[in-house]
Amino acid sequence: MSNNIVFNSFLNLLVNKDPKYTKEYIYDINKFDVWFCARGKSFSANNILNNKLDKLFKEEESLEYLYNLGTLNVENVNSEDGLPSEHFYQDDDFLNIPASAYIFSKPQYPVNCKVNKDYNYTAFDYNINDMSDNYKNKISEQYKNNPVLTPENSYDLCNLTSYSASWNHISGYFNSEYNFSSGYNSNEYSTYNINQDYLIEDQINVSTKNVSFEILPTNIIGGALLITWYDQQRTNYYYDGKNITSAAMDKNGILNQYAYKNKPTITGNCIPVCYMELPKTYNLKDAVMNIQWSENGLFSLK
C-alpha cells in the first residue's frame, strides 16, 4: 500500500479527556467500519484530516460501505523490534506492586484467588489505581490518621505497621502463614491468579480476523479502503431486489435479504480512522471481497 494515513480525528479521540473514552470503549469491536473508495486521494490540509466523514468525502465521490470490522485485536509493541512488551506496570522496574496489595483489596480482589477462603481473611476498601492525593482527601474517618497505600510504600499493606484495627489484628497471621513478598514477585502473581497489565509500548497495532465481506454487486470503481469509528445508533439494512431498505420484509411479507448489519445510521458522523491504498484499482461487480490484512495489523499508532 503506497499511501496510508491515520487521521487526526482518530488521534484526537485517543487523547480525549472525557472519562467515557476508555481503551475498552474506543476499541469496542462494533465501532469500526470499512469502506471502499477511490485511490490517489489527497489529505494534505490539517483541517481535512480532522473532519468527519461528511466533510471528508463530497456527495458525488464514490464511497461504498463494506462492513463492520468486528473481532478487533489491539497489541502493544515496540516500534524498533515489533515485539510485545515484556514488562508489566506491576513489576519491580516500575510500580513494584506486591501481590498482597490486590489480595486484600475489596474492589480489585483476583477472581480466581483462594486466599479469601481462609477463615482469618479480611478485605479492605481501597483501590490501587486511585492511591492519589484525591483519594487521601476522600478516605473515610476510620482511616483518616492511618497510613494509606501509595507508590511510595509500593502499595504494600503487609509492610505497614498500622492500617486499621482490623488489619493490625490479622497482619501477624498472614505474615507468618503466607509470607507475602514486600514488593513485586512474579511467582506470587501466578500462584494467586492475579492479572498483570502489560506496559504500553510506543506503538499500537490494531488488527482483525474478518477478511471476507459479502457485499451487494455494484459498479463502483476504486482502489483504497477507508476505516471509520462510530459510536452512535446503527441500523440493519436489507436489499429488496432493487433498493436498499431498512424494512426486513417487503409489502408482501417476504423477507428481504441482508445488505448490511449494524451500518452507521448517520454515516456523516463517522470519524475517519485511516485511509489505505490498495495495489491497483478494482471494480466491485462481484458480491464477495476478500482482504488479507497484514500480520502487523490494519493500522499502527506510534
The model's pLDDT over 256-278, given as tens digits with 9 standing for 90+, comes to: 877 788 889 998 899 999 898 88
Split at pLDDT 50, 70, 90, the class of 206 is confident
Are 185 and 276 contained in the same domain?
Answer: no
Q: Name the domain boundary from 160, 191, 222.
A: 191
Residue 291 included in any domain: yes
Are 104 and 74 contained in the same domain?
Answer: no
Between 296 and 131, the more confident residue is 296
Q: Name the domain boundary from 156, 191, 226.
A: 191
Read off the pLDDT of residues 123-160 as tens digits, 9 standing for 90 and up. 887 777 654 444 444 444 444 555 566 666 767 888 77
CB neighbour class for 282 (10 Å; exposed up to 12, middle 13-18, buried from 19): middle
Q: Percentage of the chain surpassing pLDDT 70?
A: 75
Question: What mean pLDDT is predicted for residues 5-16?
Answer: 83
CA–CA–CA angle 195, 198, 203 (5° rounding): 155
Are 132 and 221 contained in the same domain?
Answer: no
Averaged confidence pLDDT in the chain: 78
Predicted confidence at residue 132, as pLDDT, reads 45
Instruction: Check pLDDT > 80 for residue 198.
Output: no
Select from 131, 135, 121 the least CA-distant residue to 156. Answer: 131
Between 254 and 211, the more confident residue is 254
Residue 114 included in any domain: yes
Contacts of 53 (CB under 8 A, 6+ apart): 228, 267, 268, 269, 270, 271, 272
Predicted confidence at residue 203, as pLDDT, reads 66
Element (H, E) at 301: strand 299-301
Are 214 and 294 contained in the same domain?
Answer: yes
Residue 147 included in any domain: yes
* Count of domains for the chain: 2
Distances (CA, A) of 128 to 104, 131, 225, 282: 11, 6, 42, 53
Residue 196 included in any domain: no
Given the C-alpha cell 448489519, which residue does it identify? 261
Contacts of 223 (CB under 8 A, 6+ apart): 38, 39, 40, 277, 278, 279, 280, 281, 282
Are 244 and 207 contained in the same domain?
Answer: yes
Predicted confidence at residue 231, as pLDDT, reads 93
Residue 40 included in any domain: yes
* CB contact at 8 A, 33 and 65: yes
Are 160 and 119 contained in the same domain?
Answer: yes
Question: What mean pLDDT is predicted for residues 98-107?
Answer: 90
Predicted confidence at residue 147, as pLDDT, reads 59
Buried b (16+ CB within 10 A) or exposed e, 30-48: ebbbbbbbbbebeeeeeeb
CA–CA–CA angle 265, 269, 273 (5° rounding): 110
Read off the pLDDT of residues 167-192 as tens digits, 9 standing for 90 and up. 888 888 998 999 999 889 999 999 99
Q: Structural domain of residue 20, as residue ranges?
A: 4-84+201-301
Predicted confidence at residue 272, as pLDDT, reads 92
Across the strands, what pairs with 37? 63, 224
Are 218 and 288 contained in the same domain?
Answer: yes
Distances (CA, A) of 149 to 128, 136, 144, 210: 8, 10, 12, 44
Instruction: Check pLDDT > 80 for residue 205.
Output: no
Residue 93 included in any domain: no
Split at pLDDT 50, 70, 90, the class of 1 is very low
Residue 89 included in any domain: no
Are 132 and 62 contained in the same domain?
Answer: no
Residue 91 included in any domain: no
Are 107 and 66 contained in the same domain?
Answer: no
Instruction: Check pLDDT > 70 for residue 24.
Output: yes
Are 73 and 206 contained in the same domain?
Answer: yes
Across the strands, what pairs with 68? 33
Q: Name the domain boundary from 173, 191, 209.
A: 191
Give the pTM: 0.59
What's the chain's length in residues? 302
Are 120 and 150 contained in the same domain?
Answer: yes
Between 301 and 195, the more confident residue is 195
Are 241 and 289 contained in the same domain?
Answer: yes
